[in-house]
Amino acid sequence: MKSKAAVKRIIEGLKALYPDALCSLTYEKDYELLFAVRLSAQCTDARVNMVTPGLYARFPTLEAFANASYEEVGEAIRSCGFYNTKAKDLVECAKILIDKHGGRVPDTMEALTALPGVGRKTANLVLGDIYGQPAYVCDTHCIRITGRLGLTDGSKDPLSVEKQLRQIIPGGESSNFCHRMVLHGRALCMARKPNCANCPLKSDCDFGKTM
């Protein structure tokens, strides 16, 4: 496992590379982030950002989603893939947010993961970006890169990776750290051909040292 000094260097190196650690999904209302993350499953964030403006224009409130049919919502999100399942989740989620949470996105892991289509990754993103809580979003980029760096043991299990990161990444850094993992995974540390030669984290990266 990495020393505290190495972990700090990695965190600071990522900050220098990606000073604006922002979520790549665009949203204005809290529930719009929740819905956008659901749509992003097996779909690119870029595609979701193309679809959501029209979606939210057609269904501008939670009530509009709750009163819509699965077919109506599905038609609006068709290009995101798996639109039948995603449409059902959005409609049912809207109903639950209204009926059980007063129209508010809940602020606990337990309440969020009880919502249709919401797993720990989505819940962590919401907790971090909306509520500023310590959040460890273990998507494919985070899992791959933290394993290469040696911050984790190389596990591909999201929960295992999350537990390991909670031990070494300070809570105040966690949300932005995970956003930077996504940015780094797109810019330099790609799945198939990582650009180790131009990566400033190479000296602290287990994988990079072998290249």
| Catalytic site positions | 121, 139
Which tokens belong to 136?
A: 């460890």
Regarding whether 124 and 41 lie in a shared domain, the answer is: yes
Range of the domain at 63: 30-129
Long-range contacts of 39-47 (CB under 8 A, 24+ apart): 39/77, 39/80, 39/86, 40/80, 41/82, 41/86, 41/117, 42/81, 42/82, 43/80, 43/81, 47/79, 47/80
The pLDDT tens digits for 110-133 are: 999 999 999 999 999 999 999 999
**92/70 Cα distance (integer angstroms):** 9
Regarding whether 108 and 41 lie in a shared domain, the answer is: yes
Diameter of the chain measured on Cα atoms: 56
pLDDT of 22 reads 86
Regarding whether 150 and 69 lie in a shared domain, the answer is: no
Which tokens belong to 74?
A: 């599905």
The domain that holds 51 is classified in CATH as: 1.10.340.30
Our measurement of the distance from residue 12's CA atom to the centroid of its chain's CA atoms, rounded to an integer in Å, reads 21
Give the chain's domain count.
2
Last residue of a domain, one of 81, 104, 129: 129
Regarding whether 89 and 155 lie in a shared domain, the answer is: no
pLDDT of 82 reads 96
CB 59 within 8 A of CB 7: no
Averaged confidence pLDDT in the chain: 96
Whole-model pTM over 0.85: yes
pLDDT of 127 reads 97
The domain that holds 148 is classified in CATH as: 1.10.1670.10
Regarding whether 15 and 43 lie in a shared domain, the answer is: no
Which residues does 157 contact at the CB level (< 8 Å), separation at least 6?
none
The pLDDT tens digits for 78-99 are: 999 999 999 999 999 999 999 9
Regarding whether 120 and 42 lie in a shared domain, the answer is: yes
Regarding whether 145 and 56 lie in a shared domain, the answer is: no
Last residue of a domain, one of 67, 97, 129: 129
pLDDT of 211 reads 82
Q: Mind listing the pLDDT tens digit of every residue in the chain (211 residues)?
A: 789 999 999 999 999 999 998 899 999 999 999 999 999 999 999 999 999 999 999 999 999 999 999 999 999 999 999 999 999 999 999 999 999 999 999 999 999 999 999 999 999 999 999 999 999 999 999 999 999 999 999 999 999 999 999 999 999 999 999 999 999 999 999 999 999 999 999 999 999 999 8
Last residue of a domain, one of 129, 147, 182: 129
Phi-psi region of 140 (alpha: psi -120 to 50; beta: other; left: phi over 0): alpha
